């Protein structure tokens, strides 16, 4: 072959390779932050009910779902390895800090967080209020440990990566992907102690669905979030204490007063019905409100709104109504609210907008 022909052939080869590379866009970079939970849990046998959360490290999690490498370039970091019943402020602040760092990196397309199901709705909602990016931040979990028959973790993880790698996931707030459904952080709640189909978004519905990596979005999440949120952790090293008190038949004010004595700056009542409680509890709560403790009425009922001034005169009693937020999410919002203000009108506005 003449020298000219060799040069020509090499040129054609280079052009062909370039065209092939151009046809196949590079996979997005997704970082996996592991916090523990049943998705990282292990039991002694595949049919054992008892198991320990947070046994499997992030590298093992990634290795267990090699198919996810077809969706994104993955790398993992271990933030904690705890059952989410042990989730705490230290892990929250570290997790939020790291997520904010990662989403600020130009080469990171999205973040997946593995978590336990017990408090995933609280962590998701917390991040929804303090992450400052439109990039996808997707939490996932499982109800069955990695060693169980029909473990649900691997497919949940695969689907979470698919959502985090999907461009249309951007700008929808922090999402939770579990059992083929995509939930908004403000809407989802755990409804069954053991069933795989435990998470629902009962009041406002799903953001989308994802089946074997096929993502479909229906709408955005409800409420202000991420880049539109007024809340930030800049300069925040501790969060104020807020306790949840449940209402029930014959409840009195003892636990309300005890919570304040323990240092609560805010209280959320998981009320009966539309955020109700006995007259005695109302009296104790109103007395605390008068002293400057911010008191929010939510409901122990799994769905429905708690309206302002419906059966109780919130204006006169100095209470805030949780509107669409359940008690555990009301607590998250109130803690962040108290880092900014104690003004009841402003806090009621937060509940209206977030
Ligand atoms: N207790 C576990 C946890 O929240 C339950 C789970 O992950 O499903 O970590």
- Per-residue pLDDT 10s for the chain (354 aa) are 555 555 445 445 444 445 544 556 799 999 999 999 999 988 888 888 888 888 899 999 999 999 999 999 999 999 999 999 999 999 999 999 999 999 999 999 999 999 999 999 999 999 999 999 999 999 999 999 988 999 999 999 999 999 999 999 999 999 999 999 999 999 999 999 999 999 999 999 999 999 999 999 999 999 999 999 999 999 999 999 999 999 999 999 999 999 999 999 999 999 999 999 999 999 999 999 999 999 999 999 999 999 999 999 999 999 999 999 999 999 999 999 999 999 999 999 999 999
pLDDT at 23: 58
pLDDT at 151: 95
How confident is the model at residue 106, as a pLDDT? 98
Among the listed residues 206, 213, 189, the one whose alpha carbon sits nearest the alpha carbon of residue 304: 189
Ligand 1 atom closest to 141 (CA): 7
CB-based contact 299:271 (threshold 8 Å): yes
pTM of the shown model: 0.92
Q: Which residues contact 60 (CB under 8 A, 6 or more apart)?
A: none
Q: How far is the CA of 115 from the centre of ligand 1 (A)?
A: 8
Best residue among 36, 38, 193, 196 to mutate for probing ligand 1's pocket (most ligand atoms within 8 Å of CB) is: 38
Alpha carbon nearest to ligand 1 atom 3, residue: 116
Which value, in Å, is the radius of gyration of the alpha carbons in the chain?
A: 24
Q: What is the pLDDT of residue 3?
A: 55
| Most informative mutation of 39, 80, 83 for ligand 1 (most atoms within 8 A of CB) | 83
pLDDT confidence of residue 52: 85
pLDDT of residue 26: 94
CA of 263 to the centre of ligand 1 (A): 28
Residues with CB under 6 A from ligand 1: 37-38, 53, 83-85, 116-118, 141, 143
217 alpha carbon – ligand 1 mean position (Å): 27
The answer to whether the beta carbons of residues 147 and 43 sit under 8 Å apart is: yes
Q: At what angle do helices 327-338 and 344-353 cross, to 10 degrees?
A: 130
Two structure tokens written together for 168 = 């249309």
Antiparallel, parallel or unpaired: β 175-178 and 29-36: unpaired
| Composition of the chain by helix, strand, coil, percent to 5 | 35, 20, 45
For residue 11, the model assigns a pLDDT of 46
Residue 268 parent element (H or E): strand 266-271
Residue from 36, 49, 53 to probe ligand 1 pocket by mutation (most atoms less than 8 Å from CB): 53
Contact 31, 76 (CB under 8 A): yes
Residues taking part in catalysis? 38
Integer angstrom CA distances of residue 153 from 71, 86, 120, 328: 17, 20, 14, 24
Q: Which atom of ligand 1 is nearest to the CA of 142?
A: 8
pLDDT at 5: 58
What pLDDT does residue 17 have?
46
Which atom of ligand 1 lies closest to the CA of 119?
4
* Distance between Cα 352 and ligand 1 center (Å): 30
What separation in Å is there between the alpha carbon of 118 and the centre of ligand 1? 5
Torsion of Cα atoms, 130 then 242 then 82 then 326, to 10°: -70
Cα–Cα dist 22/114, whole Å = 33
């Amino acid at each position: 072959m003449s020298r000219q022909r060799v040069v020509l052939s090499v040129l054609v080869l280079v052009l062909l390779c370039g065209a092939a590379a151009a046809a196949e866009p590079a996979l997005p970079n997704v970082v996996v932050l592991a916090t523990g939970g049943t998705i990282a849990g292990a039991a002694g046998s595949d049919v054992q009910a008892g198991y320990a959360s947070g046994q499997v490290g992030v590298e093992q999690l990634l290795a267990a779902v090699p198919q996810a490498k077809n969706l994104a370039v993955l790398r993992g970091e271990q933030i904690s390895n705890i059952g989410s019943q042990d989730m705490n402020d230290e892990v929250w602040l570290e997790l939020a800090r790291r997520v904010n760092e990662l989403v600020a990196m130009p080469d990171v397309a999205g973040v997946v967080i593995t978590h336990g199901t017990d408090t995933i709705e609280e962590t998701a909602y917390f991040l929804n209020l303090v992450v400052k990016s439109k990039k996808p931040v997707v939490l996932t979990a499982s109800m069955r440990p990695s060693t169980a028959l029909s473990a649900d973790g691997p497919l949940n993880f695969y689907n979470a990566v698919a959502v985090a790698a999907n461009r249309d996931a951007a700008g929808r707030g922090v999402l939770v992907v579990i059992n083929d459904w995509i939930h908004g952080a403000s809407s989802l709640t755990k409804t069954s102690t053991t069933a795989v189909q435990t998470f629902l978004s009962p009041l406002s519905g799903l953001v989308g669905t994802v089946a074997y990596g096929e993502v479909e979005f229906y709408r955005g999440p409800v409420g202000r979030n991420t880049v539109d949120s007024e809340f930030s952790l800049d300069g925040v090293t501790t969060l104020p204490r807020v306790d949840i008190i449940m209402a029930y038949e014959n409840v009195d004010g003892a636990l309300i007063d005890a919570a304040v004595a323990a240092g609560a700056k805010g209280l959320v009542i998981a009320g009966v019905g539309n955020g109700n409680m006995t007259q005695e509890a109302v009296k104790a709560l109103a007395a605390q409100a008068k002293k400057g403790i911010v008191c929010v009425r939510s409901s122990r009922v799994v769905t429905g709104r708690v309206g302002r001034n419906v059966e109780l005169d919130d204006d006169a009693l100095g209470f805030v109504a949780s509107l669409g937020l359940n008690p555990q999410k009301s607590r998250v919002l109130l803690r962040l609210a108290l880092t900014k203000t104690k003004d009841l009108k402003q806090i009621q506005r937060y509940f209206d907008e977030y």
